[in-house]
Structure 1
């Protein structure tokens, strides 16, 4: 809820991460999710992703490794999915910026972004140069819905800011896919504002009702 309120435009692309919640056997799936979550916590996932400092949370792309390990070699070959190793991401990030800090407001585009490994490395490079990743626009296109969802989640973990566009599509067949997704940001944020106002109104009514009920009990009305 917190992250949706901050960045509602990422919610549509993150849907594959939560699709299990509407499956028929959701109780059984929930138990499996709980077991996986418990195992991750035991093995120290929060050591990599739990810091309040986004730089500390950006040393590794955990979801990339999870996605690659959970998919069979045959599935990876069929998808053509081979995520860029971290050291290569760092090299690409440095080369893309020319070794210097990009000017604020620049769009950093990854047309075949996977889970966002190059973004992670570039954001760390920006921080090393004294910059703030939130000063830039981060646009990523990825054809695999689950990888795109992971990239959206990673953009939050890595503190890329609110100007993030994650588009799920084939940029070769649809070169304007990122622009179309970016154009929906204003509409989605307006929808978010409307929903939050309604929630605030409902909460205010609930509190008034509680006050009235307490007074009625006190005075025996």
Structure 2
């Protein structure tokens, strides 16, 4: 069963083997953190780029909607005794966040998805990740913890039931209203994975990990302050905000600070895909969410996500870039083998047809 949700991916050719792999961000990358020396009396710096009109069509209070969605998913999981595998509900929300409808006047995706039986629903998630692996094997590999459950040989009846429950909950709470837009600015108005991850974990688990996600209004302010400072440095011989620069968050969580920076860049009439992005987090699920968000938010081809301790390993980003390069090379080998097998089968069919015609 092919749903309309795959149309935008299946219409595209996978990135060819000769395409450049992600480049490691430069060490001099500006880290999106506020300048603590700024005081209330400091004049507001002028922005370098001309403000760009943003598209209409977003939802009101997107961060509140995202929190409400995460709360509903967590409540549904625990109420129905989902168990300790929180990567399943988080992975379902992540999977659905990757879905976008190519034709806004096309069939209703929510109805299409929920019309499938339980096993078809799991297969849909498998196919979705396979389709994205063709284009971004590095990010899909980093997000493995969020989707490897779908590829397991067997699922219990209760697991299949929970997959349906969480899928319906996320869709009923309007996930597509937040992430289903064609325009990346509208898709990036909220981080739907941060509250889902936060609310799925107990308070004790969060404290044990030392994991505290910065609220969206704070990340917006911090990103604006940092990027505005960069633009203001022009008059002092500093470097203007311009494509090709690197932006790094060494304690990224699910990428909230990066989302705010990307949205700020868009508002200046620039494209985040023209910049280099790097995110590091020690928590595997948070790093996986950051990788998914990089695709949802349209950060472009030059994104590196590391699951590492940035304090203990100064080369965390470079190490992650090497892993990303290996993922692209593995994909290219798999595609090459698949094309060779297809060519052999086609040749066999032609020979059989020729033999049949001669007989």
Q: What is the TM-score of this pair, normalised by structure 1?
A: 0.89
Asked whether the equivalents of residues 6 and 162 of structure 1 are also in contact (C-alpha less than 8 Å), the reply is no
Partner of 2:148: 19
Aligned twin of 1:41: 171
User: Whose radius of gyration is greater, 1 or 2?
Assistant: 2
Shift of 1:167: 0.4
Q: SS at 2:163's partner residue?
A: helix
Instruction: Give 3-state SS (helix, strand or coil) of 2:254's partner.
Output: coil
Higher mean C-alpha deviation, range 48-57 or range 190-199: 190-199
Deviation of residue 92 (structure 1)?
1.4
Q: Is the CA contact 1:165–1:182 (under 8 Å) kept in the aligned structure 2? A: yes
Deviation for aligned residue 1:122: 0.6
Q: Which residue of 2 aligns with 1:165?
A: 304
CA distance in 2 between counterparts of 1:220 and 1:71 reads 69
Residues 1:192 and 2:322 aligned together = no
* 2:264 counterpart SS class: helix
Query: 1:7/1:23 Cα in 2 relative to 1: closer, same or farther (>3 Å)?
Result: closer
Quick one: distance in 1 between partners of 2:242 and 2:261?
13
Matches within 5 A, 1:93-108: 93-98=223-228, 100=231, 102-108=241-247
Distance in structure 2 (CA, Å) of the matches to 1:220 and 1:208: 16
TM-score normalized by the length of structure 2: 0.56
RCO (CA 8 Å, sep 6+): is it higher in 1 or 2?
2
1:10 match: 139
Higher deviation after alignment, 152-161 or 39-48:
39-48
CA contact (8 A) 2:305 2:317 kept: yes
In 2: Cα distance, 1:193 partner to 1:149 partner: 22
Compute the RMSD of aligned alpha carbons. Answer: 2.3
Match of 1:154 in 2: 293
CA 1:24–1:91 in 2, change beyond 3 Å: closer, same or farther? same
- Deviation per residue, 1:149-180 (Å, 9 max, x gap): 00000000000001111100111111211111
Task: Determine if the alignment matches structure 1 residue 68 to structure 2 residue 191.
Answer: no
SS in 2 for 1:97: helix
Match of 1:12, SS state, is helix
Does the CA contact (< 8 Å) of 2:140 and 2:292 recur in 1?
Answer: no
Identify the structure with the greater helix proportion.
1
2:31 — aligned with what?
A: none
